[in-house]
Amino acid sequence: MPYRRNAENGVAMISAEEFLSSHEQMVREPSAPNSSNRDVPGKHPTKERRRKLSGGFAYSVAADSHDEDECKESALRLLDAAARSSGSLRDKLVEREYDAEVIDRVVARLEELGLIDDEEYARNVIRSCTARMMGARGVIRELVRKGVPRPLAERMVRETAQAGVFEDCAWELGRTVAKKNAGKDVEVCKRRFWSAGGRKGHAPEDLRAVSDELFRRRIYE
């Protein structure tokens, strides 16, 4: 119990209420241990990276949208996970809420270092597409979907077409359809071939040439 002096005996007890009232400036609620430092001179606020979900995958958004080093680290992690075109990488960095100018500088630097090469990336995509017997229109569609600039996609596909690759793909597709439908009516085979060729983006003239020759002569090898 707190004490106070009086005139008679020098010491007397006081109540807790009186003590607290007379010392109210001393009684302070302690600050929370995790409170923000934003108002404390010389202190920097703690950066917290929010999490988002996309396609079932979680990722962190930018703690500082203008932090170029942070953006570069994020870009390198994305490239380490999978090969990407410049357009695809830009989209991912925008998704993570980095500033557009920061993204431009980071992507340009990665291109200078050879870590992003749209032409080489496009060649790999074209090889994958032709292995699936796709046609020129289908390949362009796939390249653009993967972030390759359309002018580059069209040029690369045009060069591939000049080598006769898509004609070979159309013939391979025709033989595959014919084998799967061996013994069926020729018109059924043609219809299924045209349907498959359309889905894979082949030119009508290539499909017509294969259909007329392959199914007329019943060449199924």
- 64: three-class secondary structure by DSSP: coil
Quote the CA–CA distance of 116 and 82 in Å, as a whole number. Answer: 11
Task: Kindly report the number of other CB atoms within 10 A of residue 203's CB atom.
Answer: 16
Tens digit of each residue's pLDDT, the chain (221 residues): 454 555 444 545 555 555 445 545 444 444 444 444 444 444 444 455 566 555 445 668 888 999 999 999 999 999 999 999 999 999 999 999 999 999 999 999 999 999 999 999 999 999 999 999 999 999 999 999 999 999 999 999 999 999 999 999 999 999 999 999 988 888 999 999 999 999 999 999 999 999 998 887 654 44
- Contact, 210 vs 168, CB < 8 A? no
Cα 202 to Cα 15, 170, 176: the distances in Å are 95, 7, 15
pTM for the full predicted model = 0.71
